[in-house]
Amino acid sequence: MLRIRNLESGYGRLKVLRKLSLHVKQGEVVTIIGANGAGKTTLLNTLAGLLRIWSGEVLFDGKDLMGIPSEKRVFMGAVLVPEGRQVFRTMSVEENLILGGVPLQKKEGRNALMEELEHVYSLFPILRERKDQFAGTLSGGEQQMLAIGRALMSRPSLIMMDEPSMGLAPLIVKDIFSIIEKLRDEGKTVLLVEQNARAALGIADRGYVLETGRIILQGDAEDLLANRDVQRAYLGKDLDVEV
């Protein structure tokens, strides 16, 4: 579904991603974990087209994404739930969702849009209750749900999420992760970026560890959870004490 080879990108003259390669197969949940500043957001923004691909190759459904503008990538089925939620604060919850469905409406018509709206409301009943409220007045957790719901409105084949648990209370984080599990069970393909490595590896099929713009480790989620380096660096286990 998604295959990245030797991708490089960054800001201005600052190169952040260095020869990065990874792949995501249909129906998989793949997580990328890494410390602050490792380049996780840079990677997802490059995949979404907000940043330019400097070199390397990004194939989505076999098509090269080089030079394709971000709004076209949404139509192709790759959608990003951006870091920090980025809902349309001055617009109502329902308007946010409808805007997320712009590609779906263009492709399949208004009925499909209304169906998908129902589907998103059934995933997030709280959004239905708040549908006429300005998105800017929602709580952080509700805004995150809205951001995910808005992305789902285009019926994407690949959904990329950038730290959906950021800044949320543990209880809400649990809700968000159970939503991601639900998406997995519906057969959606998910590329999940997280600092909350334990929770992310807990629901993922596979994982990659990103450090200063390079993949330094990859494998099945369980193997990574059991890996001593990962445990020490990202799961907060003090191995010296354990031993």
Partner 1 sequence: MSLELLLQYIVAGLTYGIIYAIVAIGFNIIYNTTGIINFAQGEFVMLGGMIAVSFNAFLPLPLAILGAVIITMITGALMDIIFIRWLRSPSVLRMIIITIGLSILIREVALHIWGESVRALPYFTGNEITSLSFGGVRVSPQVLWTVGVCSVMVAGLSLFFRYTMVGRKMRATSDNRNAALLCGISTGNMVTLSFVLSAGIGAVAGCVVSPITYTQYNIGTGLAIKGFTVAILGGLGSSVGAVVGGLILGILESFSIWVLPAAYKDAIAIAILLLILFLKPSGLFGKSDVMALKEF
Ligand X SMILES: Nc1ncnc2c1ncn2[C@@H]1O[C@H](COP(=O)(O)OP(=O)(O)OP(=O)(O)O)[C@@H](O)[C@H]1O
Among 3, 10, 50, 57, binds partner 1 (CB under 8 A): 50
- Side by side, the strands of the sheet bearing 14-24 are 14-24, 2-11, 55-60, 63-64
The site map against partner 1 for 62-101 (x = CB under 8 A) is -------xxxx-xx---xx-x---xxxxxx---x--xxx-
**Segments of the chain assigned E as strands:** 2-11, 14-24, 29-33, 55-60, 63-64, 78-81, 158-162, 189-194, 206-211, 214-220
Query: With CB under 6 A as the contact rule, which of the stretches 34-42, 67-75, 118-126, 220-228 interacts with ligand X?
Result: 34-42
C-alpha closest to that of 183 among 165, 201, 203: 203
Residue (157 or 165) nearer to ligand X, CB: 165
Question: Does residue 166 interact with partner 1 by CB under 8 A?
Answer: no
Shortest Å distance, C-beta 200 to ligand X: 12
Cβ closest to Mg ion, residue 116 vs residue 163: 163
What is the biggest distance separating any 2 CA atoms in the chain, rounded to whole angstroms? 61
Q: Which of the choices partner 1, ligand X, Mg ion, none does residue 38 contact, using the CB cut-off of 5 to 8 A by kind?
A: ligand X
Q: What is the DSSP code (8-state) at residue 168?
A: -
- For residue 193, the minimal CB distance to Mg ion (Å) is 7
**Residue of closest CB approach to Mg ion:** 41
Q: Does 213 bind partner 1 (CB under 8 A)?
A: no
Q: How far is the CB of 119 from ligand X (least distance, A)?
A: 30
Containing 70, the helix (H) or strand (E) segment is: helix 70-76
Q: φ, ψ for residue 223 (rounded to 5)? A: -65, -40
Enumerate binding residues for ligand X (CB under 6 A): 11, 14, 16, 34, 36-42, 83, 195
